[in-house]
Structure 1
Amino acid sequence: MTVKRKLYGLAALGIFIAALVAAVAVYSVVSMSRASHSIFDNALLVNKNVSALVVMFEQSRSLLRSVSPDAGQQAIASTFAAFDAIDQKLADTSIDVFRSITNEGVRAVVTSFIDSLDQSRQVSQSIFKAWLAGDRAAAAIMLNVDDARNEAAIREKLTILTNFVDKLAADDLAELERTQHATIVVAVAVAAVMPFLIYLAFLVARQIALPITALTLAARKVERRKFKPEMISHVVSQRNELGALARVFQAMAIDVQRRQEELEAEVQARTRDLETKNLQLETSQQRMETELDIARSLQGAMLPQRMPKHPSYSGRAIMRPARELGGDFYDFFIIGEDQIGLVIADVSGKGVPAAFFMAISRTVLQASAREGRSAGDCLAETNTILCEQNPLEMFVTVFYGILNLRTGVMSYANGGHNPPVVVHHDGAVTTLPQTGGMAMGIMSGLTYEEGTISLEAGDTLFLYTDGISEAMDMEGREFTVERLLESLGASHRQSLDIVVTSVTDAVSRFVGDAPQHDDMTYLVVRYKGSPDTIDSGNMGVLQHSAAAA
């Protein structure tokens, strides 16, 4: 609501108050008129009830006077019965009259009158009782003395009551007339002054509202940046509080507009600088993405894409990095004529640093392995070299196994990595026993214990990183090793392609739409038996075919 509307509202409120005063005056006149009618109604009711009492009193007196001195007992009893009925009605009416009186002064006078009636009733009853008892002399004395005295007292009290009620009504009416006159005078005065009050209220409201309206419009112009100082010059020239306010507002508005212009100029300059820097950042981002694509291609090229062909085994390998560059890696390479090296590893961290450390670890480990060292010695030498060249203090967990293709015996060492899973040809699923080694790159001079396992034809090795067992769903639950073992339960009857697909699908179904936080890498190798046994079996098949021919 604007100030102008508020001021006009105050003027309207003043008019309403004046009208309310006039309405109250009129209501007072009406209320007093009703009060006068109430007074007359009450006086009329008192007169009516007192008149009824007087009539019944006269009837009882007539019955009492109608008894002759020589009347018989039966006539007296009959007259007394009629008298008693009127007397009972007189008593009930007296109670009604007393209850109908609201004025305390009238109540006192009526009470005195009713007391006189009660005394007269008692004397009349005593006279009848004396007649019925046969004591006519006593009855005659009470009739001539007491009854006459009571009748005189009643008439006196009736006169007093009538005069009091008339005087009370006259006084109330006089007071009512005076009040009505005063109320009418006030109402007329208010009605006469009201037009002047209306004019004065609107005049004051206009004198205050116009300058405030001008200041309001000027404020809107400032907001739209269209303010001109001469817009409020007629208010500035006033020598009052509104003029002082307008002068302060004018100076402030000029300063605000100047600051806005300066700020806009600075914002434009900064915007141009930001656009230039954003263009530079986009260029750098494109160059970085190109370099990352090249690095990802180089990383993929570093890992072997397929295992060397050999009749004693078959294998598959997959690496799914969580970012553009992963820290996991796998490796397999021929050692001599009858052995193959199997490696699965997980570098701490992700991204470019992990990828570089992965490349160094793989190169050092493969170089050491090709020199014919045992699995434990190979990990020990690789750990020493990594600790000497590890400025970022990264580490790598690794499993390295050397599988003899003729005997099926694999010696292995574990540097803090997840133990591989063995799926036997009969369907049994187990994990390789741990050898207690520590991750490489943490401490130099460590030794690594070795373990051995004999594989039979049809046994499958499943080497993996913790990105599989620790894959999380939307609620933060892990896939776990137990679920991995369950998904490998039927893999002894499946091809390696199906084994890889089933594990990948199981992890994907569990994770759902949850983001991948760690690399997932696994290497699957199935041992088919000694090459001599495989060749002999093939030769037997050929001979059997020739004989049949």
Structure 2
Amino acid sequence: MDALNKKIYFADNVEHKTFVEQIINGMYDWVRVIDINDNIIFANDSMSKALGKNLIGEKCYEAIGKSEPCENCTSRKAVFEGTIQSKEEIIGDKIFSVMSSPIRDENGKITSVVEVLRDITEMKKMQKKILEHNKKLQSELNMARRLQCSLLPKELPRDKIDFSYVYRPCEAIGGDFLDIFKIDKDHIGIYIADVSGHGVPASMLTVFLRSSINKRTLSPAEALNQLYKEFNRDYYDQELYITVFYAIIDTKNKSITYSNAGHNASPILFNHESQRFDILRIPGVPISDWIDNPGYTEKSISIAKGDRLFMYTDGIVELRNNKSEQFGEERLLNILLGEKLSPAITLDRIIDAAMEFANIKNFNKIIDDITMALLEVI
């Protein structure tokens, strides 16, 4: 290389070095270079100004107010392992994330380490606030869950029927709900409901449902018509809606009268001995503000001793396997009409079969609420 070319090369090299230093000195983050003996050989302006001194020649740990090397020194680890290392470090009243990267010469030998220290104090404060807020929110959700569960049936009318149910929301609180209650000495009311969505808004509507449905009338259609009007008075223009199947069991005359407000998981009335089953389908719009007059209707069907009524929400039948097949109504019927077990064990059998079908090991992985009820005439 002649003298002119050498001059141009050195000029370009110096100019490039100055440009890189300008970039590093313009960074908000602290940047320093440490040799393999813990000596600082470069520190950018941000770090020098913040610590109020010239750091060149100081030991890396002395520069941040320590008398001996850090116990978890990432720079030494970066030199030893030859890989990028990271940690958090408290310097004064601030918290920094530290990233240490080895620097190699042209032969690949590690000669020093570059450290980038980013002030994450405010981020840590924000994280703490978020954790505290989430803890408070979780506590409130747990309280809401206990409240919602307290509204589920406790004292079941078992003198003329055997009854069991499963209520498993996919979140802390759910949009499914059911209730069973005595209307008078000869009539038992039972309904199952599914609110669109999940979480707090849906759970609030389950509270509305329980407190608003007419538990005195012997007409399910009348009860749903009244519920529809009350919903539109209190929840007008809300995007949420409720599907409800409501049945009244006449234990004296052995019949079930039922009506439906858009609940697509139609209950199943069946008998093990005869293997007879009836799917109680009846049209009806959900409890919503979709139309002015829903005009709910009702039907009646005779029942006998040993008959069972299965009510459910769509969470169980819509579980899918790895082929995207739904668990479906047919598999449900096969279990219901199979071996006769107690209502509680039958419901457990359904859940086990559905989770096995969908290859779900943990119930927390289910993405929809699951609610089922099984009633037997005795």
Instruction: Write the distance in 1 (CA, Å) between the matches of 2:358 and 2:146.
Output: 27
> Is 2:350 the counterpart of 1:500?
no
TM-score by length of structure 2 reads: 0.71
Quote the offset at 1:466 in angstroms.
Answer: 0.7
Pair 1:292 & 2:141 matched? yes
**Residues 1:461 and 2:227 are matched in the alignment:** no
Greater shift in the superposed pair: 390-399 or 425-434: 425-434
Distance 1:257 1:348, change over 3 A: closer
Contact preservation (8 Å) 2:269, 2:280: no
Partner of 1:341: 189
Cα deviation per residue 1:414-466 (whole Å; 9 max; x = unaligned)?
11112211122524242334221111113342211110011101101101111
Q: Distance in 1 between matches of 2:218 and 2:188?
A: 13
Q: TM-score, normalised by structure 1?
A: 0.50
In terms of fraction of residues, the more helix-rich structure is 1
> SS in structure 1 opposite 2:126?
helix
Deviation sequence 1:395-415 (CA, Å, 0-9, x none) = 111111111111111111011
Counterpart amino acid of residue 524 in structure 1: L
Counterpart pick for 2:225 among 373, 380, 405: 380
CA contact (8 A) 1:387 1:444 kept: no
| Whole-angstrom CA distance in 1 between matches of 2:13 and 2:350 | 80
* Residue 247 of structure 1: how far off its partner (Å): 4.1
**2:193 corresponds to which letter in structure 1?**
A
Between the aligned partners of 1:392 and 1:298, the Cα distance in structure 2 is: 23
Given that 1:467 and 1:520 are in contact with CA atoms closer than 8 Å, whether structure 2 keeps it comes out as yes
- Counterpart mapping for 1:244-255 below 5 A: 244-255=11-22
Q: Is 2:254 the partner of 1:408?
A: yes
- 2:266 match: 419
- Counterpart selection for 2:203 from 350, 355, 369: 355
Question: Which deviations, in whole Å up to 9, do the C-alpha atoms of 1:229-271 show, x marking residues without a partner?
Answer: xxxxxxxxxxx313432442353244134224x4335986751
Residue-by-residue CA offset, 1:310-348 (whole Å, 9 max, x unaligned):
1x2110011111111110111001001111001111111
Local SS of the residue matching 2:315:
helix
Structure with the larger strand share:
2
- List per-residue Cα deviations over 1:173-206 (Å, max 9, x = no partner): xxxxxxxxxxxxxxxxxxxxxxxxxxxxxxx59x
Aligned partner of residue 153 in structure 2, secondary structure: coil
- Of 315, 318, 325 in structure 2, the residue corresponding to residue 477 of structure 1 is 325
Question: Partner amino acid for 1:520?
Answer: I
Instruction: State the Cα distance separating 1:280 from its structure 2 match.
Output: 0.5
Contact 2:165–2:344 (CA under 8 A) maintained in structure 1: no
Moved more, 476-485 or 500-509: 500-509
Alignment of 1:258 onto 2:57? no
State the alpha-carbon separation in 1 of the partners of residues 230 and 326 from structure 2: 34
> Identity of counterpart residues, as a percentage?
27
> In structure 2, the residue corresponding to 1:353 is in which secondary structure?
helix
**Cα 1:263/1:208, change in 2 over 3 Å:** farther
How far apart, CA to CA, are the structure 2 residues paired with 1:425 and 1:287? Answer: 50
1:532 corresponds to: none
Match of 1:462, SS? Answer: strand
Which one-letter code corresponds to 1:428 in the other structure? Q
Q: Where does 1:134-533 land on structure 2 (aligned, <5 Å)?
A: 204=1, 240-260=7-27, 262-264=28-30, 265=46, 271-310=120-159, 312-365=160-213, 368-370=214-216, 372-390=217-235, 391-417=237-263, 418-441=265-288, 442-491=290-339, 493-513=340-360, 515-528=365-378
> What secondary structure sits across from 1:412 in the alignment?
strand
Evaluate the alpha carbon distance shift between residue 429 and residue 288 of structure 1 in structure 2; reply closer, same or farther with a 3 A threshold: farther
Helix, strand or coil for the counterpart of 2:240?
coil
> Relative to structure 1, is the Cα distance of residues 297 and 208 closer, same or farther in structure 2, using a 3 angstrom cutoff?
farther
Change (3 A) 1:505 1:429: farther
Which 4+ stretches in 1 moved above 6 angstroms? Answer: 266-269
1:499 CA drift (Å) = 1.6
How far, CA to CA, are the matches of 1:389 and 1:484 in structure 2? 37
Alpha-carbon offset, residue 373 of structure 1: 4.5
Query: In structure 2, do the counterparts of structure 1 residues 208 and 291 end up closer, same or farther at CA, with 3 Å as the change threshold?
Result: farther
SS in 1 for 2:15: helix
Q: 5+ residue gaps in structure 2?
A: 31-45, 48-95, 97-116
| Cα offset, 1:208, TM superposition | 9.6
Task: Tell me if the contact between 2:176 and 2:206 (Cα under 8 Å) persists in the aligned partners.
Answer: yes
CA distance change for structure 1 residues 429 and 519 in 2, over 3 Å: closer, same or farther? farther
Q: Which residue of 2 aligns with 1:196?
A: none
Residues 256 and 525 of structure 1: is their aligned pair in 2 closer, same or farther, counting only changes over 3 Å? Answer: same
Distance in 2 of aligned mates of 1:344 and 1:303: 11
Q: Is the 8 A contact 2:272 2:338 kept in 1?
A: no
The CA distance in 1 between the partners of 2:323 and 2:4, in whole Å, is 67
3-state SS of 2:350 partner: helix
CA distance in 2, matches of 1:328, 1:334: 21
Q: 1:244 to 1:494 in 2, by over 3 A?
A: closer
Q: C-alpha distance in 2, partners of 1:251/1:509?
A: 66
Return the alpha-carbon distance in structure 1 between the equivalents of residues 305 and 278 of structure 2: 18
For 1:518, give the aligned amino acid.
Answer: D
Deviations 1:65-124 (A, max 9, x none): xxxxxxxxxxxxxxxxxxxxxxxxxxxxxxxxxxxxxxxxxxxxxxxxxxxxxxxxxxxx
Range 505-514 or range 453-462, more displaced: 505-514
SS in 1 for 2:26: helix
Between structure 1 and structure 2, the one with the greater Rg is 1
Alpha carbons of structure 1 residues 287 and 452: separation in structure 2 relative to 1, 3 Å: same
- Give the drift of 1:489: 1.3
Alignment of 1:59-78 (within 5 A): none
> 2:112 maps to which residue?
none
Structure 1: 5+ residue stretches without partners: 1-203, 212-239, 529-549
Name the SS for the 1:468 alignment partner. Answer: coil
SS at match of 2:157: coil
